[in-house]
Amino acid sequence: MPTNVTPDYKKAEEAFRNAREPKERLECLKEMARTIPKHKGTEHLQADIKTRIKQLTEELTGPKKGGKRSGPSHVIRPEGAAQVALIGPPNAGKSSLHVKLTGSSSAIGPYPYSTHLPVPGMVPYEDIHIQLIDLPPISADFMEPWIVNALQPADAAMLVIDLADPECLEQVPTILERLAEKKIYLTTDWPGLNVQDSGEPAESDDVFSLKLPTVLVANKSDLDPDPEEVEVLEDLLGLRYPALTVSARTGDGLDEIGAFLFKALEIVRVYTKTPGKPAETDKPFTVRRGDTVLDVARLVHKDIAEGLKFARMWGTDVYDGQQVGPDHLVSDGDLVELHQ
Ligand SMILES: Nc1nc2c(ncn2[C@@H]2O[C@H](COP(=O)(O)OP(=O)(O)OP(=O)(O)O)[C@@H](O)[C@H]2O)c(=O)[nH]1
Ligand SMILES: [Mg+2]
């Protein structure tokens, strides 16, 4: 961040970092444009903000009159416990995995470039759902320009490769480079896993840089059953992503994906109850480790969050029915009764 920015601008930037909905992100960008001090030192950032506003506006409403594109937005509204994007070279089996994991009807083809638009779907895991977005491939020849916008709401990425295709040794570095050009960094840094620092460049601290914790999904294990293949590959690539070996064809290894994402993203399920009524144990609200009773209340209803005085809780770190304040940290499986 450049020096000499005002507290108002810092606040707007912080709000932008936290915003997930495209519309909310656009509002935050406009607030950044309004509050950024207009001097030489911020010229570059001012230009960046303008470009982002233009791109996102077009993404949400279609280009101004005379523009080429009109049609559906490529940005998919996050739903469920987290949004995870499928990234990878052509023909690796991203859509096949999407179909198997979410039951979608995403297009599968025996040839590259079968997928042209983002396809949402939900992966069930225990009593929650994780959103999975199928995307077109990224290659040396081609990357849809809108992929940059489509990835902004994602919490994480699954980097899918064809284990049996030696070309992935060139494809993976190309994908990482193409995304890095757009300030999107696929990192090894999952909140719930202890992985070493991947040594990302310092410029990734830029407000527009997007760091997506990434799991390498080595697909088509049915074609190459050597269980050590993926490690050899990571060594050759010089990468240290956590890796899962799977087959979309046989279903092998697919069961582990939900559990992996749940743990690595530190998803926390919190059940709610209304005073005097039984607990609603079928539909948890989901937050992340480090979130509080107030964060849960926000998901229930804005008004409830605003009027929240205390909660009664059952679960970890509390005795049954203990009264806690809005700042109390929640744990997976907790039950809360919110009091206005
Ligand atoms: N043997 C085998 N074939 C697979 C597996 N997964 C996908 N395939 C095949 O690989 C080809 C490509 O699959 P897609 O799911 O369309 O691949 P994609 O990554 O979505 O491809 P693009 O949309 O072009 O990027 C198809 O012929 C699939 O049937 C697998 O686990 N094993
Ligand atoms: Mg596809």
49-93 pLDDT tens trace? 999 999 888 888 765 555 555 556 788 989 999 999 999 999 999
> Which protein residues have their CB within 5 A of the ion that is ligand 2?
94-95, 114-115
Give yes or no for residue 232 CB within 6 A of ligand 1.
no
Residue 281 belongs to what domain range? 267-339
Q: Which atom of ligand 1 is nearest to the CA of 160?
A: 19
Identify the domain boundary among 214, 234, 264: 264
Per DSSP, the three-state class of 170 is helix
Q: What is the pLDDT of residues 90-125, one digit of tens each?
A: 999 999 999 999 999 999 998 888 999 999 999 999
222: CATH? 3.40.50.300
Do 256 and 292 fall into the same domain? no
Exposed / middle / buried, residue 159 (Cβ in 10 Å: 0-12, 13-18, 19+):
buried
Does one domain contain both 105 and 147? Answer: yes
Number of structural domains the chain divides into:
3
Please name the residue that has the structure tokens 């997506």.
212
Q: In the predicted model, what is the mean pLDDT of the chain?
A: 91
Pocket lining: 252 vs ligand 1, CB cutoff 6 Å: no
Which parts of the chain have pLDDT scores under 70? 1-3, 62-72, 195-205
Give CA–CA dist 157/175, Å, rounded: 13
Are residue 43 and residue 93 in the same domain, yes or no?
Answer: no
Nearest ligand by distance to the CA of 87: 1
Q: Is 188 in the pocket of ligand 1 (CB under 6 A)?
A: no
The residue among 220, 247, 264 that closes a domain is: 264
Distance in angstroms (rounded) separating the CA atoms of residues 77 and 64: 23
Rg (the chain; Cα; Å)? 22
In a domain, 308, yes or no: yes
Asked whether residue 124 is domain-assigned, the answer is yes
